[in-house]
Structure 1
């Protein structure tokens, strides 16, 4: 197999068919090494079992500051995201334990289930707005506003700010792909931080029944939440609370449209919604890689050595299509019962928002197919474009008719 380059990760061909790309890596080139700046980067596309071992490996840490030379900016992550490095995915215990505890109660299955009526209401309102037109961009008109509205309401973010948060998120993600986007990413980060500071000041004056106010109350009660941690936490909840679910809904609906027999099966058997969402999470790879890890010591692996200080990215797509774990892994099967996929990661950094993403996926897809039973693509599949983000997989637009 011809060695891959870092740019290969966000080619349209790769994003269009990640199962084939990462499947080839898993079978032929488990470890791919690149050099970015002064730091080595390892892409690991391995088996399901070994992926779990690596996700739990104490030698692979999330907090680069524990091994970095002071003052060195994080490579690849870039200047734009450096201000948000103290997020849940960028720290290790005990800080991770402390920070996660502060927000975990809001994301328990029980608490998330209480959001069902409101998520259903938002879903219906979005579909009401386009019903008479007979067409929509499923991303801009539905997959994006639904999860963003939900997480914004949970955080107490004013309606006027929500659209701008999406633009800032996109600019920050784009800054990961090339230096030409870095300045726009830095500007977006500064604007994002300014907006969050305004939100925090408002909630300090007028606290409400929202997660931001809860975090501020925790701060007042001495839970050691620094100002930077507050800002970073809200940023991560905004980004993590909508960006990946946008991809789940967009990628998932495209997969169903391209597999009409599966879509028909779901329409006639709505009790399959839960297993459908799990299969779409596994098969469509809305998140291609686990969070960044850093080698805290030299780690021998598959005849090579990951050096201390090097970045490690573990392919969730490769793990989730491992034939040793999943029967017919390249096949989309919404009736699949044995489906312990790794789309939300594994270990202490397992996705906090998993219950929310699952519920949003079930309500959104179920309602969409019930209300628009003749939904179909309004373009040729080859005309669709993917956002060139190497670690997430999401469509720029998904035009549909109904």
Structure 2
């Protein structure tokens, strides 16, 4: 067992060069320091895991807790007190609480229940693309990639259409994690507003329940006390937040890489059975969740021959694990026909008890978005083919996504 004595700062993971192409940095870490200490901007001792096998093991290791209350001091230093009321949900819980909370919503996200949403999601996709201009530049992120998943999750939760833009603005503010005083103040205000909004929406659902998930959860809360009032509010927030940014950035990444690989795009167009494998390969190749949410060590833990001390935070790079040549042959190649269905082993949706609840929904949204977009606009092209892609910059990597996606939609090639 080894203990690395020379921590790596997070600076090189936050530069513009790293955001453009983080994979060389991760490749180096996998070879030289697969479990390495970091000094991130929030100042809390953190260990970064980059190899596939180590990452997979860590994602299901019960000694690496997701219970934020067990790491409250570290949590407050990173996110602040205002986040606590919105984070009392399954994402930040261990068994048995995690099991109880997940069970309440699990039935709504089975492949069968999600498949029943296909006509509604297709209708949303069509309406968004109908509104996009053709033959002139359009940024596909705000025009298509972002409104699609937020509209779908709002439909599931029963959020009125006229209130969705407000929800999206608040969600965007919460997601833009920063460490400046101004950034934290903006986040705190957005978190307080979201908590207030969902509290009021739940009250309305009690008065006039509908055929939506939030009405069902509210009924379960009132009928058998299956969750507390704050757990109900926080669960609504989690479903909205987790079902929005991750899928939005994933759609943007997918469109970008398919346009950059015309042979792969042509294969998907000509072979509809490749759409499913293509989505899995896109999640593996450049997924939208760069790192899993924080865990903290409840005791000394050895991973990959390195001791992680009790109380330390652990960050697991899914992006790096999915490019590990120890697991995937030629991992830096984008191949929708990856042999042996190797895409299915990726960690893009996590692993273990915290495996992404919304994975079936994200897969369906991706499939419908890509098949419809490229089917209606076979000559889609970057607005400026010579321009370099602009990736969003964040204080520490959590999401991996484009800052913009300017394209020209052309119905004919």
* Same fold (TM > 0.5): yes
Q: How large is the RMSD of aligned CA atoms in angstroms?
A: 1.9
Residue of structure 2 in register with 1:243 after alignment: 245
2:388 counterpart SS class: helix
Stretches of structure 1 that go unaligned for 5 or more consecutive residues are none
Residue of structure 2 in register with 1:168 after alignment: 170
Higher alpha-carbon deviation: 245-254 or 161-170: 161-170
Residue of structure 2 in register with 1:39 after alignment: 44
Distance 1:319 1:268 in 2: 31
Residue of structure 1 in register with 2:378 after alignment: 373
Distance 1:344 1:12 in 2: 26
Q: Give the deviation of 1:84 after TM superposition.
A: 2.1
Residue of structure 1 in register with 2:3 after alignment: none
Distance 2:305 2:274 in 1: 44
Higher alpha-carbon deviation: 320-329 or 343-352: 320-329
Distance 2:302 2:12 in 1: 25
Partner of residue 384 from structure 1, selected from 375, 390, 401 = 390
Q: Give the deviation of 1:132 after TM superposition.
A: 4.3
Residue of structure 2 in register with 1:295 after alignment: 297
For the 8 Å contact 1:67–1:296, the answer to whether it is kept is no
Distance 1:176 1:107 in 2: 32
> CA-to-partner distance for each residue in 1:337-356, whole Å, 9 max, x for gaps?
22210001000000000000
For the 8 Å contact 1:63–1:90, the answer to whether it is kept is yes
1:207 counterpart SS class: coil
Partner of residue 14 from structure 2, selected from 10, 16, 20 = 10
Distance 2:181 2:232 in 1: 28
Partner of residue 395 from structure 1, selected from 396, 399, 402 = 402
Distance 1:49 1:224 in 2: 36
Pairs within 5 Å for 1:135-146: 135-146=137-148
2:224 counterpart SS class: coil
Q: Give the deviation of 1:260 after TM superposition.
A: 1.6
Stretches of structure 2 that go unaligned for 5 or more consecutive residues are 1-5
Pairs within 5 Å for 1:80-119: 80-119=82-121
Pairs within 5 Å for 1:2-401: 4-30=8-34, 31-34=36-39, 39-46=44-51, 48-66=52-70, 68=72, 73-132=75-134, 134-176=136-178, 178-302=180-304, 304-336=306-338, 337-339=341-343, 340-379=345-384, 380-382=386-388, 384-388=390-394, 390-401=397-408
Give the count of matched residue pairs: 398
